[in-house]
């Protein structure tokens, strides 16, 4: 709960700002806005409840809510779709939860300059349905595409599945309007100019407000890039006799230099073992298939078709066997919507239990992938054997850099956790497992997170180590912008910024 | 008749297709019921299974249409690659024959 009790007069003030209907105090409203789909200590759910929920509709309302919170030193946690897997939207100190789902209006579509300006509560799928008639597309494509919101993508600096071709959220947001922790409203971009993509004026403040996890303010409007709607999609899945061949083939495919290449995903042998258990695409695959690569391409037909032929040849020359259109097209289409997958795992005796999903999302350089993968699996195996409530769902390695998809990879080890069995002892065990995984990432000069943010337990403690001297700068920025530490307190170890007081 | 009656749409007995996997309908895989002792398997009528499978394909097809105007087939590209290789081989053969003459 927050350090300052939210009294009836404060609730009245909030009602006056956003309207009485949009101030929620019920248990249901607060419990539903507590956790995200990542592993969560369910036995301690009530420790993470917000005190109150508000649903503003305008920038001015957000500003007034934040001003009130700053005056009374009440924590504020912004929440969009709540689909991030690193607890960014989980309140750690109670307070006011600002749910932005009513801020879902498209404000301007500028086809001459290829931008759309909107409020951040809109979902990308809905946005693309609206702009389809203009022949344009907003290509930010997370695995939560049908349910995550633009604001959350900005708050986490999200990863897009097709960024090799189109860039990630940070590359697709041209500028934005932000309410600072003191309630001031500012515009940030590369420099000035709401629709200017490249500027050398001043500091590049846009990047400061990408991925701050609500610790520096709340985005209330954004101007986004529009690209021509793709004429053609090409997805191809290739099977390999072992991981080593697939790993080498991944290097060859990503370094092909083909501009329409949107992604290359490498599945390790443990991932294939996991998929063989109950994924309809993999159950019938022959035993000698041990590793898989998935590639996707987007663009004009005249570009994608010849480039697709070239990719097929590279894959074949490096030991890949095309798995057919049904697997390739079906599996690729399902990757835009992984949150619809009902999750379950296996105990050591192979019985099925419901499990939640831990998505490790480190950035690892190509040359370090084999070592990191081996060490992660060793850690997972130890904890599975000792506690019997975890399950190793294998590793993915996903091209990470925008437009230059060859040097580093979003590296996942997916671990299932039988959440119903969590208690203080097993939760502590899980966090220790997570810490060991993170230590391997840092040992190989990787980054803790490519995708969801460094705000969950087991990651956050390592932010100072990864950032080095930069962490001191982070703390100073936090203190200057948020003098009372009201914005999403407890995240990213930024409470340290106030310790000198 | 109103309402649903399971007995009218009871699925066929499952057959084991591999370790841990059974099948009642072609291409519709299920986990071996022996492994579903903690979470019980739901009894589903045939029409409901068919509805879920059909919706799944509809959803995937919708996704393709949402992201691009057309989908290029890898199988067709493979054929094109093979055909162009054949063509090159044939051209090479006829060129070498001409040279011999």
A398 lies in the same domain as A255: yes
- Closest-CA residue of B relative to A287 is B18
* Residue B85 and residue B64 in one domain: no
Identify the pLDDT of residue B86: 87
Query: Tokens 């998505």 — which residue?
Result: A359
Q: Answer yes or no: is A19 within a domain.
A: yes
The reply to whether A287 and A398 lie within a common domain is yes
How far apart CA A115 and CA A223 sit, in angstroms, is 6
Asked if residue B41 belongs to a domain, the reply is: yes
Query: What does each C-alpha distance from A321 to A14, A110, A286, A461, B8 come to in angstroms?
Result: 61, 44, 12, 43, 44
Do B30 and B57 have their domain in common? yes
Number of other CB atoms surrounding residue A386 within 10 Å: 11
Mark which of A39, A72, A99 sits at the end of a domain.
Answer: A99
Query: Distance from A419 to chain B by nearest Cα, in Å?
Result: 14
- Regions of chain A where pLDDT drops below 70: 1-4, 500-501
**Residue B3's pLDDT is what?**
61
Task: With respect to residue A455, please indicate whether it lies within any of the assigned structural domains.
Answer: no
Tally of structural domains, chain B: 2
Indicate the SS3 state at residue A164: helix
Nearest of A427, A361, A360 to residue A389 by alpha carbon: A427
Residue A129 located in a structural domain = yes
- Among B62, B63, B75, pick the best mutation site for testing chain A contact (most A Cβ within 10 A): B63
Q: How far apart are CA A23 and CA A25, in angstroms?
A: 7
Q: Which of A263, A253, A254 is nearest to A296 (CA)?
A: A263
Same domain? A290 vs A409? yes
Cβ–Cβ below 8 Å for A232 and B71: yes
The span from the CA of A138 to the CA of A150, in Å, is 11
- Determine the residue of chain B that is closest to A327 in CA distance: B74
Residue B66 contacts by C-beta under 8 Å, 6 or more apart in sequence? A125, A128, A129
Q: Are residues A300 and A397 in the same domain?
A: yes
In a domain? residue B2: no
B66–A125 CB contact, under 8 Å: yes
Is residue B31, in this structure, part of any structural domain at all? yes
Q: Is A337 on the interface with B (CB under 8 A)?
A: yes
Mark whether A166 and A214 lie in a shared domain: yes
Question: Looking at the domain assignment, is residue B95 inside a domain?
Answer: yes
In a domain, A345, yes or no: yes
Residues A218 and A267 in one domain: no
Of A229, A234, A278, the CB nearest to B72: A234
Residues B46 and B77 in one domain: no
Flag whether A2 is in a domain: no
Give per-residue pLDDT as tens, A223-236. 999 999 999 999 99
Average pLDDT, whole number, for chain A?
A: 96
pLDDT digits (tens, 9 = 90+) for A119-134: 999 999 999 999 999 9
Q: Is residue B45 a part of any domain in this protein?
A: yes
Partners of B61 on chain A (C-beta within 8 Å) are 333
Q: Are residues B31 and B66 in the same domain?
A: yes
In a domain, B4, yes or no: no
Tell me, yes or no, whether A331 and A262 share the same domain.
yes
Q: Is A71 on the interface with B (CB under 8 A)?
A: no
Domain hosting A18: range is 8-99
pLDDT score recorded for residue A3 = 46
How many domains does chain A contain in total? Answer: 4
User: B9 to chain A nearest CA, in Å?
Assistant: 23
The token pair that represents A136 in the structure block:
């344009």
Q: A133 touching B, CB under 8 A? A: no
Domain-terminating residue out of A177, A195, A228: A228
A325 touches chain B (CB under 8 A): yes
**Measured distance CA(A384)–CA(A331) in Å, rounded:** 28
**CATH number, domain with residue A110:** 3.30.465.10
Shared domain check, B26 and B55: yes
Do B44 and B22 share a structural domain? Answer: yes
Considering the domain boundaries, does residue B3 fall inside one? no
Same domain, yes or no, for B53 and B88?
no
Is the distance from CB of A196 to CB of A139 less than 8 angstroms? no
pLDDT score for A501: 55
CATH number for the domain including A275? 3.40.462.40
State the best of A234, A314, A315, A338 to mutate against chain B, taking most chain B CBs within 10 Å.
A234
A424 and A281 housed in the same domain: yes
Q: Which residues of A touch B67 (CB under 8 A)?
A: 141, 230, 233, 298, 336
Both A238 and A333 in one domain: the answer is yes
| Chain B hits for A298, Cβ within 8 Å | 67-68
Q: Does A456 touch chain B (CB under 8 A)?
A: no
Are residues B61 and B50 both part of a single domain? yes
Nearest to A85 by CA among A41, A38, A48: A38
Partner-chain contact B39 A353, CB within 8 Å: yes
The verdict on B55 and B77 lying in the same domain is: no
Inter-chain residue contact A233 with B61, CB threshold 8 Å: no
> How far is residue A114 from each of residues A117, A131, A136, A182, measured CA to CA in Å?
10, 11, 8, 33
Last residue of a domain, one of A210, A228, A246: A228
Q: What is the pTM of this model?
A: 0.94
What is the rounded CA–CA span in Å between residue B81 and residue B61?
26
Indicate whether A274 belongs to any domain.
yes
Quick check: A298 and B64 CB within 8 A? no
Closest residue in chain B to residue A328, using alpha carbons only = B74
- What is the model's pLDDT at position B2? 57
Produce one character per residue of A14-26: b if its CB has 16 or more CB atoms within 10 Å, e if not: beebbeeebbbee
Name the residue with tokens 């040279």. B99
Instruction: Calculate the CA dihedral of residues A50, A220, A216, A457 and round it to 10 degrees.
Output: 50
If asked whether residues A147 and A195 sit together in one domain, one would say: yes
Q: Is A352 on the interface with B (CB under 8 A)?
A: yes
- For CA atoms A433, A336, A220, A126, the dihedral sign is negative
Structural domain harbouring B33: 10-70
Q: What are the DSSP calls for A35-98, one per residue?
A: --SS---GGGGGGG--SEEE---SHHHHHHHHHHHHHHT--EEEESS---SS-TTS-SS--EEE
Q: Are both A70 and A215 inside the same structural domain?
A: no
Mutation target vs B (from A146, A281, A283; most B CBs, 10 A cutoff) = A283
Hey, CA dihedral for A438, A443, A444, A448, is it positive or negative?
A: positive
Q: Name the interface residues of B facing A (CB cutoff 8 Å).
A: 17-18, 20-21, 27-29, 31, 35-39, 57, 59-61, 63-64, 66-75, 77-78, 80-81
- B77 with B30, same domain? no
Residues B66 and B84 in one domain: no
Helix spans in chain B (H): 46-67, 74-100
Taking an 8 Å cut-off on Cβ atoms, the answer to whether A329 and B60 are in contact is yes
Domain assignment of residue A242, yes or no: yes
**Both A49 and A184 in a single domain?**
no
Same domain, B39 and B24: yes
A452 part of a folded domain: no
Q: Which residue of A has its CA nearest to B76?
A: A325
């Amino acid at each position: 709960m927050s350090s300052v009790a939210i009294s009836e007069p404060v609730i009245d003030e909030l009602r006056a700002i956003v309207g009485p209907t949009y101030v929620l105090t019920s248990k249901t409203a607060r419990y539903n806005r507590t956790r995200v789909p990542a592993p969560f200590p369910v036995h301690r759910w009530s420790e993470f409840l917000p005190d109150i929920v508000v649903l503003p509709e305008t920038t001015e309302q957000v500003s007034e809510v934040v001003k009130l919170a700053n005056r009374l030193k009440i924590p504020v946690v912004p929440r969009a779709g709540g689909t991030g897997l690193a607890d960014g939207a989980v309140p750690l100190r109670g307070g006011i939860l600002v749910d932005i789902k009513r801020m879902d209006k498209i404000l301007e579509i500028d086809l001459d300059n290829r931008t759309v300006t909107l409020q951040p509560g809109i979902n990308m799928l809905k946005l693309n349905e609206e702009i389809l008639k203009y022949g344009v597309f907003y290509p930010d494509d997370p695995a939560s595409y049908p349910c995550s919101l633009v604001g959350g993508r900005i708050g986490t600096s999200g990863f897009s599945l097709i960024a090799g071709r189109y860039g990630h959220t940070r590359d697709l947001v041209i500028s934005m309007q932000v309410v600072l922790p003191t309630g001031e409203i500012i515009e940030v971009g590369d420099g000035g100019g709401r629709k200017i993509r490249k500027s050398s004026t001043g500091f590049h403040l846009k990047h400061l407000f990408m991925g701050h996890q609500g610790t520096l303010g709340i985005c209330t409007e954004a101007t986004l890039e529009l690209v021509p709607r793709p004429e053609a999609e090409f997805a191809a899945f290739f099977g390999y006799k072992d991981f080593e061949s697939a790993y080498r083939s991944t290097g060859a495919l990503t370094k092909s230099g083909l501009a329409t290449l949107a992604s290359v995903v490498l599945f390790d042998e443990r991932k294939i073992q996991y998929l063989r258990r109950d994924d309809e695409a993999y159950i019938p695959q022959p035993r000698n298939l041990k590793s898989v690569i998935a590639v996707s391409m987007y663009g004009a037909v005249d570009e994608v078709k010849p480039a697709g032929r070239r990719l097929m040849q590279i894959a074949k020359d490096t030991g890949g066997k095309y798995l057919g259109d049904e697997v390739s097209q079906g599996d690729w289409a399902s990757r835009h919507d992984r949150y619809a997958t009902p999750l379950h795992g296996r105990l050591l005796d192979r019985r099925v239990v419901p499990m939640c999903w831990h998505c490790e999302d480190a950035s690892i350089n190509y040359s370090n992938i084999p070592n990191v993968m081996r060490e992660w699996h060793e850690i997972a195996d130890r904890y599975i054997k000792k506690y019997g409530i975890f399950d190793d769902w294998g590793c993915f390695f996903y091209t990470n850099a925008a437009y230059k998809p060859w040097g580093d990879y979003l590296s996942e080890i997916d671990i299932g956790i039988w959440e119903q069995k969590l208690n203080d002892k097993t939760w502590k065990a899980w966090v220790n497992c997570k810490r060991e995984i993170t230590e391997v990432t840092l040992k190989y000069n990787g980054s803790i997170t490519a995708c969801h943010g460094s705000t969950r337990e087991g990651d956050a403690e390592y932010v100072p180590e990864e950032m080095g001297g930069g962490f001191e700068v982070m703390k100073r920025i936090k203190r200057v912008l948020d003098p009372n530490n009201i914005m999403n307190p407890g995240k990213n170890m930024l409470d340290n910024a106030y310790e000198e007081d | 008749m109103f309402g649903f009656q399971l007995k009218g749409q009871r699925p066929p007995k499952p057959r084991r297709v591999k370790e841990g996997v059974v099948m009642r309908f072609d291409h519709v895989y299920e986990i071996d019921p022996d492994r579903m002792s903690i979470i019980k398997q739901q009894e589903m009528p045939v029409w409901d299974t068919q509805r879920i499978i059909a919706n799944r394909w509809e959803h995937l097809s919708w996704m393709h249409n949402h992201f691009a105007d057309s989908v290029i087939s890898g199988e067709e590209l493979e054929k094109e690659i093979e055909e162009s290789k054949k063509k090159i081989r044939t051209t090479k053969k006829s060129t070498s024959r001409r040279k011999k003459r």
